[in-house]
Amino acid sequence: MNDIGEFALLVALATALYGCVSYIMAVRGNRIDLYLSADKTPVIVWVCVVISSAALWKGFITNDFSLQYVWAYSNKELDTFYKLASFWGGQKGSLLFWTLILTTYMCVVYFQNRKKNIRLMPYAMAVMFVIIIFFLCLLNFSTNPFERIPLPPEDGRGLNPLLQNYWMVIHPPTLYLGYVGFTVPFAFAMAALISKNLDDGWIRLTRKWTLLAWFFLCMGNLFGASWAYVELGWGGYWAWDPVENAAFMPLLVATAFLHSIQIQEKKDMMKVWNMSLVLLTFVMTIFGTFITRSGLIQSVHTFDEATLGYYFLAFLGVIIVICTVLIITRLPLLKSKNELDSLLSREASFLINNLLLLGIGFATFWGTIFPIISEAVRGVKITVGPPFYNQVNVPIGLALLALIGIGPVIAWRRATWANLRKNFQVPVIVGLVTAAVLFSIVPLTGRSEIFTYMTFILCAFVMACILREFLNGARARMGLEDGGNFVSELGTLTWRNKRRYGGYVVHIGMVLIFAGIAGSQSYSVHEQKHLKMGESFKLRDYTITYEKLTAVEATSVKTRVIAEVGVFKDSKRVWTGRPEKEFYKGQNQPVSEVDVLSTIVEDIYIILADFNEDESATLKVYLNPMVSWLWTGGWVIAFGTMICMWPDRLEQRRRLDRMKKQEAIFAPAQE
Amino acid sequence: MNFVHFIQLILVLAILGAVGVPLFRGLSKIKLFAKLDESGEEYKHLLVRKEEVLLSIKDLEFDRTTNKVSEKDYQTQRKKLEMETVTILERMEELEKDKKKGKKSSKPAKVV
């Protein structure tokens, strides 16, 4: 099977090369025979990559340690669940996994569009093939996952214990689905540029793809934060690590893009801007991959054998040059005929939102590459830490949060101050009441606490703005001749305007995330104590008592040492925490498994930092307020995105009507 | 030849067959797509624009109902959007007439 897997990768590369060239020749030479021939290649390449992936998975399941990759990331004792996930645990497998997702996406795009967009599709497929070829070249000639060990060892080295967590099965695939998903809008944007077909057709074709990729990247980031929170044992979920930043930057640019395409659709303007944003989003995904695989920047996420940096850098350079040249040469075709009606309009608020998102993106980018720049200029690698990011990004983030509320309340095209005053009255009052109530509750001593205070006020303001939108919309519908009751009209309103109101639901999720970040960053307290059995200490209103220490042989390679910690409030037991340390055979460092009691108010987060032979133990306990708001925000975002992505029958009917009308007067595109 | 080589051979032959057959079906004379009809493309674009402008009018109506725009702004914007619709419809009609006459339109698109 290994031989077949390796061979399938080679065949996939040859077929992808043929597919790319024949698609271009077919469209350039206007030849249907070449097109029909090329049209077989997406599925063939996908099948080859599936065969190759299946072969590697089989290697993991059957403990085939003749494969160097399987030996490096698995062993006989590893749970089957983690054996499946070990596939993307290292560099080689993760590249194959990336290629698997990319070819799968390409196949879906192919089946969706092959008969619809005959002028654009060949170019889009060719662009996707170019990217696939790059990854297949790496897999075939640089990091072959089927590399053999001449004398296979008895057992493997095993998967890094930190990766033996259920999030390992969820987080990387979600993140990859997001990263790779941006290839689709990128390919269509490039196709539009190459074919000079620069109306907003490519945007309509890829809008949902962009949203899907955005959703996966957003969830991937949140899942990663959740994983870090429960596994790394430092009480936090985000550390502005270069690789976290690498996944955060495309998310910011894609968010800007998702907002600004609405202006292009509505007003047929901002074509250059949108084109640049979609290309930049893709560039950022490749940049992220470069960061993870170059070994140039230190991060907990970088792969052991991070040797592919230069390939990715070269690829990145080529993409940037091609994109820039294409945009410059197509500038006359991208010129907008329309202008903003007023600076006091929703379009203008979207523009400001774009600038703020890119501002955060640029600050994050600068902080991420600063170690490389400082080393190149001064010979010393200077790493930029969380204070830099917080200092720059928090104020911009607050402005962005305010805009989440302001944007929807302003009318499209033109608004007046009088209407704004009227519409913002209630949200501003809600904000002021929140400010007054919180003033007496929360401490306001430092800069961070002031920012947190402002965040809560803005969260209340934004929530009021969004809820007001739902309320006013439903009320307006109730006033119609066939208007029903409030609840049914609220449902109809959302159902008939899925994009708008689904977007508002996503915004509610963002508000929860902002509140969660603010609360957990500013009001978190922690204490570390070395305790003998039965001893206690106080942390805020809680009494923490160290009660028991147990050692358990979980498997032949894993021993668990579990501490039992009683948490009391007003002499009542609230919870018994069981943090543990896990010792893996052959691994020098034990792994901490924290225990968390999560409530809407706060998380009680306990780490067993150390223990001694006399059964005394060092416990570290955090009280992290509002962390659960973050995860709830994530689910709300998922729900909102689902509403936005739900097929819109009205839109489909409009598209069909357009096609019919077009074809009734003008001949179909294909002869 | 062992089993693995046999499978590899079958795989290659199947792929060559799949991509090769269309090349030998005598289709080389058939064009993939008709010559780009500029007026057809413009018409397609105008259909989309018309739809967007009509949706904008609907949005404007909704903004008025929910008190987001003043009556004065509503009237101004509505007039502007209606003008835009008329311009689009006129141009579409022109293109339709030209197409019926079999003439190629010479005037470039002018959409506000």
Q: What string of DSSP letters covers A486-542? A: HHHHHHHHHHHTHHHHHHHHHHHHHHHHHHHHHHHHHS-EEEEEEE-TT-EEEETTE
Largest Cα–Cα separation, chain B: 85
The mean pLDDT of A353-373, rounded to a whole number, is 92
**A112-135 pLDDT per residue, tens:** 888 777 888 899 999 999 999 999
Using the 8-state DSSP alphabet, how is residue A235 labeled? S
The β-bridge partners of A148 are A67
Q: Which of A300-304, A423-427, A610-614 has the lowest mean pLDDT?
A: A300-304
Q: Which of A330-334, A595-599, A604-608 has the lowest mean pLDDT?
A: A330-334
Task: Tell which wins on pLDDT, A589 or A48.
Answer: A48
CB contact under 8 A, A36 and B52: no
**A24-39 pLDDT per residue, tens:** 998 888 888 888 899 9
- pLDDT for residue A667 is more than 70: no
C-alpha distances out from residue A566 to A279, A310, A618, Å: 53, 52, 14
| Overall size of chain B counted in residues | 112
B11 closest CB neighbour out of A11, A200, A671: A11
Distance CA A165, CA A142 (A): 29
B73 closest CB neighbour out of A39, A416, A658: A416
Regarding an ipTM greater than 0.95, the answer is no
**Does one domain contain both A170 and A138?**
no
A321 found inside a domain: yes
- pLDDT for residue A303 is more than 70: no
Instruction: State the DSSP string of B62-95.
Output: HHHHTT-S-HHHHHHHHHHHHHHHHHHHHHHHHH
In sequence order, which residues have a C-beta less than 8 Å from that of residue A87 and are 6 or more positions away? A53, A56, A57, A60, A93, A96, A97
Picking from A160, A179, A201, the residue at the C-terminal end of a domain is: A160
CB contact under 8 A, A341 and B48: no
**Does one domain contain both A106 and A203?**
no
Give the pLDDT of residue A376: 82
Structural domain range at position A25: 1-160
**Does one domain contain both A92 and A114?**
yes
**B4-19 pLDDT per residue, tens:** 888 888 888 988 988 8
**A618-631 pLDDT per residue, tens:** 999 999 999 999 99
Task: Tell which wins on pLDDT, B18 or B1.
Answer: B18
Q: A605: closest CA among A524, A671, A501?
A: A524
CB contact under 8 A, A409 and B68: yes
**Does one domain contain both A170 and A153?**
no
CB contact under 8 A, B8 and A199: no
A662 closest CB neighbour out of B21, B44, B67: B44
In sequence order, which residues have a C-beta less than 8 Å from that of residue A423 and are 6 or more positions away? A409, A468, B67, B68
Nearest CA distance, A663 vs chain B (angstrom): 9
B22 closest CB neighbour out of A36, A201, A423: A36
**Does one domain contain both A216 and A259?**
yes
Q: What percentage of chain A reaches a pLDDT higher than 70?
A: 97
Nearest CA distance, B40 vs chain A (angstrom): 6
Nearest CA distance, A658 vs chain B (angstrom): 6
A664 found inside a domain: no
pLDDT class for A385, splitting at 50, 70, 90? Answer: confident
Picking from A160, A179, A212, the residue at the C-terminal end of a domain is: A160
Count of C-beta atoms within a 10 Å radius of residue A222: 23
**Does one domain contain both A51 and A175?**
no
Residues of A numbered 550-609 whose beta carbons fall under 8 angstroms of chain B's beta carbons: which are they? Answer: none
A4 closest CB neighbour out of B7, B27, B65: B7
A33 closest CB neighbour out of B28, B45, B62: B28
Task: Tell which wins on pLDDT, B32 or A253.
Answer: A253
Task: Tell which wins on pLDDT, A47 or A81.
Answer: A47
Contact A537, A527 (CB under 8 A): yes
Q: Does A652 touch chain B (CB under 8 A)?
A: no
CB contact under 8 A, B40 and A667: yes
A565 found inside a domain: yes
Distance CA A214, CA A180 (A): 10
Strands in A570-667 per DSSP E: 572-577, 580-584, 591-593, 595-598, 602-611, 617-625
Looking at the 3D structure of chain A, how many domains does it have?
3
Distance CA A666, CA A328 (A): 32
CB contact under 8 A, B47 and A200: no
CB contact under 8 A, B76 and A414: yes
Q: Does A667 touch chain B (CB under 8 A)?
A: yes
- pLDDT for residue A341 is more than 80: no
Nearest CA distance, A662 vs chain B (angstrom): 6
Chain B positions in Cβ-Cβ contact with residue A341 (cut-off 8 Å): 77, 80
**Which H or E element spans position A36?**
helix A32-38
**Does one domain contain both A262 and A210?**
yes
**Does one domain contain both A6 and A77?**
yes
Q: Count interface pairs A-B at CB distance under 8 A.
A: 156
CB contact under 8 A, B15 and A4: no
Contact A290, A312 (CB under 8 A): yes
A448 found inside a domain: no
Distance CA A447, CA A518 (A): 12
Nearest CA distance, B23 vs chain A (angstrom): 5
Q: Which of A1, A37, A58 to mutate to test the interface with B (most CBs of B within 10 A)?
A: A37
Give the pLDDT of residue A454: 94
Q: Does A32 touch chain B (CB under 8 A)?
A: yes
- pLDDT for residue A11 is more than 50: yes
**Does one domain contain both A171 and A140?**
no
A200 closest CB neighbour out of B48, B68, B72: B48
The mean pLDDT of A487-509, rounded to a whole number, is 91
CB contact under 8 A, B63 and A411: yes
- pLDDT for residue B111 is more than 60: no
Of the CA atoms within 13 Å of residue A405, those in its CB half-sphere come to 28
Contact A368, A360 (CB under 8 A): no
- pLDDT for residue A145 is more than 60: yes
> What rounded mean pLDDT belongs to chain A?
88
Chain B positions in Cβ-Cβ contact with residue A473 (cut-off 8 Å): 62, 66
CB contact under 8 A, B34 and A473: no
SS3 A590: coil
SS3 B5: helix
Q: A127: closest CA among A220, A206, A228, A219?
A: A206
Give the pLDDT of residue B108: 47
Contact A561, A551 (CB under 8 A): yes
CB contact under 8 A, B40 and A418: no
A630 found inside a domain: no
Q: A96: closest CA among A43, A48, A160, A30?
A: A48
pLDDT class for A200, splitting at 50, 70, 90? Answer: confident
- What do you get for the CA distance between the two ends of chain B, in Å? 70
The β-bridge partners of A582 are A560, A591
The mean pLDDT of B78-107, rounded to a whole number, is 80
Distance CA B76, CA B70 (A): 10
Helix, strand counts (H, E) of chain B = 3, 0
**Does one domain contain both A258 and A133?**
no
**Does one domain contain both A290 and A175?**
yes
SS3 A551: strand
Nearest CA distance, A419 vs chain B (angstrom): 6
Give the pLDDT of residue A522: 87
Nearest CA distance, A338 vs chain B (angstrom): 6
Q: Which of A10, A15, A31, A203 to mutate to test the interface with B (most CBs of B within 10 A)?
A: A31
Count of C-beta atoms within a 10 Å radius of residue A395: 14
Count of C-beta atoms within a 10 Å radius of residue A473: 23
In sequence order, which residues have a C-beta less than 8 Å from that of residue A284 and are 6 or more positions away? A246, A249, A250, A253, A361
Q: Does A669 touch chain B (CB under 8 A)?
A: yes
Distance CA A97, CA A184 (A): 17
pLDDT class for B2, splitting at 50, 70, 90? Answer: confident
**A547-592 pLDDT per residue, tens:** 999 999 887 778 899 999 999 998 899 999 999 998 887 777 888 8
Torsion of the alpha carbons at A181, A103, A147 and A156, rounded to the nearest 10: 60
C-alpha distances out from residue A14 to A102, A318, A461, A588, Å: 17, 22, 57, 44
Place of tokens 């689910």: A635
Give the pLDDT of residue A670: 46
Q: Does A339 touch chain B (CB under 8 A)?
A: no
Distance CA A143, CA A152 (A): 19
A370 found inside a domain: no
Residues of A numbered 267-296 whose beta carbons fall under 8 angstroms of chain B's beta carbons: which are they? Answer: 268
CB contact under 8 A, B23 and A411: no
Largest Cα–Cα separation, chain A: 89
Using the 8-state DSSP alphabet, how is residue A613 labeled? T
Of the CA atoms within 13 Å of residue A156, those in its CB half-sphere come to 25
Give the pLDDT of residue A127: 95
A582 found inside a domain: yes
A525 found inside a domain: no
Q: What percentage of chain A reaches a pLDDT higher than 90?
A: 50
Q: Which of A298-312, A581-595, A613-627, B51-65 has the lowest mean pLDDT?
A: A298-312
**A444-483 pLDDT per residue, tens:** 888 888 999 999 999 999 999 999 999 988 888 888 777 7
Place of tokens 């606490």: A449
- pLDDT for residue A40 is more than 70: yes
Q: Does A304 touch chain B (CB under 8 A)?
A: no
- pLDDT for residue A23 is more than 70: yes
Distance CA B10, CA A84 (A): 29
Q: Which of B54, B68, B95 to mutate to test the interface with A (most CBs of A within 10 A)?
A: B68
**Does one domain contain both A315 and A174?**
yes
Picking from A119, A141, A160, the residue at the C-terminal end of a domain is: A160
C-alpha distances out from residue A139 to A16, A133, A615, B8, Å: 14, 10, 50, 19
* Interaxial angle between packed helices A486-496 and A498-522, expressed in degrees from 0 to 180 and rounded to the nearest 10: 100
